[in-house]
């Protein structure tokens, strides 16, 4: 399971980066800005489920 | 995918030591977020001399001051209006307003961002998947869709896990029953009071047998009942459906659930919440099973108006047994067994109202509704129980009264005056019931 989860985690971070790359232009388009906000919330759920658990140690 | 019992096996079957590490990491994160952004919380923590860098262990967490509901009432209705100093995000990021039911005093407002709202439905997805709901279910939700959080997140989670959702708001009880029948809904969520109330209406006013409506799973929330064995049995028999419990709260989130194994308790979602049990008298944290205490809870990922060491007053205890479902999420035995502010002394004896419900609903011949009235005659406490006889049971009144008194004495150590009423005479409630009236406080 661990190898799969690492792969999942990498792809989730790519999703997040993709959204962040649109940061400069999103303010020009409410449709882009506010839909991305919703998508980002979903990406956050993926992070809670798959990225958080992979990081070693109690922080 | 439908066959796996876990919404996320990575978290739900995580090794306990890794889970503890995850919890500590997440507590530190939400504590730092809250300290940095909430003037109310920062002031509380500064007075206690605790800063984010001081949190290195669970022992350190125990020194973080608790937040009581009354404190939230005091900070609200001020700027940023209406949430006040506990708000951790700009007001324009708040997309959802909800408020508590007000049963314990002035309602508390709850702010959530869109991410928090997504988090709510994620927590509920864990619940519904664990209870066996799947995309093939048609979920009927008979609730008012109003300012109480109630089943809003259940609705969105049912959508998330792929169910077809039928919103049953606005319709009256009979119309809801007809809609369930018309659409052949397979699943439902409601308070225990309403689950029993709908069944009663179907049978007595509509000549419809609820067991034939096709509902196979029901999730209950909002009040105790689904973890009280006799109440659960009544609901399951009334609908010929499996009934599952869930405990959550507006200020906290959806923190616990009964799984398909129905182990006589509920799992805490340990990946999303930190539950601590505090001895009511000493304040000491109880780590061992078998001792009841008051819940103090932290939601790790709720950002707009965080829940950090919230004094929830729910009475719980850890179950020593692992669950057959395979989850490493800990179990609380018997679910939420009461509330610290419901437990009262009558004639010097501590009484939890849920114990009375367990007795009443375990006796054949009695209806679902009952009422308890505590008052004083001079200096002496008195307790009266009002119950309804099911039609046709009138000639068993004496036998029922004897059984009631015996069982109540056994379970609560108190003697009661019993009053019998015809079926339908006692108050009915649409959502949450208020069956315990303490006249001594008035």
Poorest-pLDDT segment among A35-39, B297-301, B309-313, B344-348: B344-348
What pLDDT, on a 0 to 100 scale, did the predictor assign at position A24? 81
The rounded distance, in Å, linking the Cα atoms of B268 and B123 is 11
Tokens in use for B204? 């007595």
Coil, strand, or helix at residue B376? strand
Q: Which chain A residues are closer than 8 Å to B117 by Cβ?
A: 41
Residues 6+ apart with CB under 8 A from A31: none
Instruction: In whole angstroms, give the CA distance from residue B210 to residue B197.
Output: 11
Q: Quick check: B261 pLDDT over 70?
A: yes
**Per-residue pLDDT reduced to its tens digit, B362-405:** 999 999 999 999 998 888 899 999 999 999 999 999 999 999 99
Q: In this predicted structure, what is the pLDDT of residue B429? A: 81
Q: What is the pLDDT of residue A48?
A: 98
Q: How confident is the model over B240-250, as a mean pLDDT?
A: 97
Q: What is the mean pLDDT of residues B63-78?
A: 94
When pLDDT is cut at 50, 70 and 90, the band that residue A58 belongs to is: low
Residue B33 has pLDDT above 90, yes or no: yes
Q: Is any Cβ of chain B less than 8 angstroms from the Cβ of A7?
A: no
Q: Which of B271, B3, B348, B2 lies closest to A50 in space, CA to CA? A: B271
Q: Which residues of A touch B26 (CB under 8 A)?
A: 52
CA distance B117 to B299: 13
Q: Is the pLDDT of residue B441 over 80?
A: no
Instruction: Give the chain A residue nearest B23 (alpha carbons).
Output: A58
Reported as a pLDDT band with limits 50, 70 and 90, residue A1 is low
The answer to whether A52 contacts B28, with C-beta atoms less than 8 Å apart, is no
Report yes or no on whether pTM surpasses 0.90: yes
> Rounded to a whole number, what is the distance in Å from the CA of B113 to chain A's nearest CA?
9
Is the CB of residue B225 less than 8 Å from the CB of residue B231? yes
Nearest by CB to A59, which of B28, B119, B301? B28
Look at B188-202, B251-265, B427-441 and tell me which has the smallest mean pLDDT: B427-441
Looking at the complex, report in whole angstroms how far the Cα of residue B224 sits from the nearest Cα belonging to chain A: 29
Of B9, B24, B272, which has the smallest distance from its Cβ to A59's Cβ? B24
Question: For residue range B172-204, what is the model confidence (pLDDT) as tens digits?
Answer: 999 999 999 999 999 999 999 999 999 999 999
Nearest-Cα residue of chain B relative to residue A39 = B115
Tell me whether residue B194 is exposed, middle or buried, using C-beta atoms within 10 angstroms of its C-beta: 0 to 12, 13 to 18, 19 or more: buried
Q: How large is the average pLDDT for residues B13-41? A: 97
The answer to whether residue B22 neighbours chain A at the CB level (below 8 Å) is yes
Give the integer Cα–Cα distance in Å for B358 and B254.
25
Q: Is the pLDDT of residue A18 over 90?
A: yes
Confidence of residue B253 (pLDDT cuts 50, 70, 90): very high
The arithmetic mean of pLDDT across residues B213-229, rounded, is 94
How distant, in Å, are the alpha carbons of B285, B298, B330 from that of B288?
A: 9, 19, 12
What is the residue-averaged pLDDT of chain B?
94
For chain B, percent of residues with pLDDT exceeding 90: 86
A 10 A CB-CB count for A43 gives 20
Q: Do B114 and A37 touch (CB under 8 A)?
A: yes
Q: With cut-offs at 50, 70 and 90, classify the pLDDT of residue A59.
A: low
In the predicted structure, residue B306 carries a pLDDT above the cut 60 = yes
What does the pLDDT read at residue B378? 86
pLDDT for residue B110? 97
Q: Compute the average pLDDT of residues B45-55.
A: 97
Mean pLDDT of A2-19: 91
Query: Which residue blocks in B144-285 are alpha helix, DSSP H?
Result: 152-160, 173-183, 192-206, 229-239
Please compute the mean of the pLDDT values over residues B43-59 and round it to a whole number. 97
Return d(Cα B342, Cα B340) in angstroms, integer.
5
């Amino acid at each position: 399971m661990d190898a799969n989860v690492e792969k999942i985690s990498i792809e989730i971070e790519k999703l997040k980066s993709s959204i962040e790359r649109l940061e400069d232009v999103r303010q020009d388009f409410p449709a882009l800005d506010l839909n991305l906000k919703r998508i980002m919330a979903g990406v956050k759920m993926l992070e809670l489920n798959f990225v958080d658990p992979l990081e070693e140690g109690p922080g | 995918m439908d066959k796996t019992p876990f919404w996320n096996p990575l978290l739900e079957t995580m090794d306990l030591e890794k889970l503890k590490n995850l919890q500590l990491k997440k507590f530190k994160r939400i504590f730092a977020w809250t300290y940095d952004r909430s003037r109310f919380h920062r002031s509380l923590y500064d007075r206690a001399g605790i800063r984010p860098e001081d949190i290195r262990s669970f022992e350190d967490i125990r020194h973080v001051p608790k937040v009581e509901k009354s404190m939230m009432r005091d900070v609200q209705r001020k700027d940023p209006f209406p949430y006040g100093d506990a708000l951790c995000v700009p007001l324009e990021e708040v997309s959802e307003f909800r408020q508590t039911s007000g049963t314990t005093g002035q309602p508390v407002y709850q702010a959530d961002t869109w991410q928090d709202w997504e988090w709510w439905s994620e927590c509920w997805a864990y619940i519904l998947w664990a209870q066996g709901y799947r995309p093939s279910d048609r979920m009927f939700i008979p609730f008012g869709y109003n300012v109480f959080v109630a089943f809003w997140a259940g609705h969105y989670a049912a959508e998330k896990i792929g169910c077809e959702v039928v919103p049953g708001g606005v319709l009256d009880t009979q119309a809801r029953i007809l809609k369930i029948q018309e659409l052949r809904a397979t699943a439902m969520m409601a308070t225990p009071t309403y689950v029993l109330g709908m069944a009663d209406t179907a049978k007595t006013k509509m000549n419809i047998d609820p067991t034939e409506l096709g509902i196979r799973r029901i999730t209950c929330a909002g009040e105790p009942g689904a973890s009280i064995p006799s109440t659960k049995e009544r609901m399951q028999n009334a609908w010929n459906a499996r009934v599952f419990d869930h405990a959550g709260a507006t200020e906290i989130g959806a923190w616990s659930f009964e799984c398909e194994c129905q182990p006589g308790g509920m799992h805490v979602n340990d990946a999303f919440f930190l539950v601590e049990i505090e001895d009511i008298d000493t304040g000491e944290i109880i780590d061992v099973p078998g001792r009841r205490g008051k819940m103090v809870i932290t939601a790790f990922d709720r950002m707009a108006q965080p829940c950090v060491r919230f004094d929830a007053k729910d009475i719980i205890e850890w179950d020593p047994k692992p669950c057959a479902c395979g989850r490493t999420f800990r179990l609380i035995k018997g679910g939420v067994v009461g509330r610290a502010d419901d437990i009262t002394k009558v004639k010097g004896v501590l009484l939890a109202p849920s114990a009375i419900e367990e007795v009443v609903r375990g006796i054949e011949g009695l209806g679902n509704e009952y009422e308890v009235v505590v008052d004083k005659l001079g200096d002496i406490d008195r307790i009266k129980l009002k119950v309804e006889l099911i039609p046709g049971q009138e000639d068993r009144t004496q036998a029922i009264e004897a059984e009631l008194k015996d069982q109540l004495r056994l379970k609560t150590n108190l003697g009661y005056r019993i009053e019998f009423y015809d079926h339908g005479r006692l108050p009915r409630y649409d959502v949450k019931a208020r069956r315990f009236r303490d006249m001594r406080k008035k």
